[in-house]
Amino acid sequence: MNFYGLLGETLGHSFSPRLHKLIYQKTKVDAAYKLFPFPPKELQQAMDGIRTLSIEGVNVTIPYKEAVLPYLDEVDSFAKKLGAVNTIKNINGKLIGYNTDYNGFGLILNRRNWDVNGKVAVILGSGGAAKTVEAYLVDHGIRQIYIVTRSPERFEHTENKTYVNYEEVQSLCGDYLINTTPIGMYPDCKSTPVNEKTIQNFDYIIDLIYNPTETALLKLGSKNSKQTANGLDMLVGQAVRAVEIWQESSIDEEIIEQLIFEWGEQQEDSL
């Protein structure tokens, strides 16, 4: 049996073990998946533990997607470009970092036939997930990106990328509003990163949070007749790609659709 897991600081909300169990069942992989929560000061020990315990691979979530980089033996060129890792493969003690969030974010848009070419997007947050979303949008023809951060002065503006603070975002308008921050995540379900007035300035509201399935941000989006999407498709998409990396295999699109459908049913049954 192969052993995999998830590294993060607070993981009580995570659906990853159940999702990976479903993927393993669908793909007939003999594997187990565990949660490995720990505080930031223990990151070195955690990375050593992967090697010592011969854990074949792990996913990485908040707040370690960027912090793990110095502890890896090798980083895939794409993950290096993004400056963030969410998947690690252990090959005989050699830890190699990858980023599969790009595939997952693309799944959100592709399954809804949402086009970003020539559009304007506002990304809430400037961490690892935001960098991945930015890369996908740029690769698919976005016209202008505004990235909202508490300290925009730390970043360099470009012709089609501008950094702003949370006060300035209230005066922006565009096509896509994308939340990459943990604001609104379980158990803090009543919080939103921006107010309702800001939401009214956009057509599509995407929240990468998947628990709860409808965040306060998305509820406000629906209330204002906006098209909305949560992070469940991204969760499935990035997990599928991680399994493909670990197993050195390819999972059919038909199986991915089955996973999304059955995962959705499981979430409804648990309500």
Q: First vs last Cα of the chain: how many Å apart?
A: 32
Q: Is 80 a catalytic residue?
A: no
21, 26, 34, 65: the active-site residue: 65
Q: Are 82 and 217 in contact (CB under 8 A)?
A: no
The closest alpha carbon to 145, from 113, 180, 194, 110, belongs to 180
Query: Is the peptide bond between 193 and the residue preceding it cis, with omega within 30 degrees of 0?
Result: no
Where in the sequence numbering do the catalytic residues fall? 65
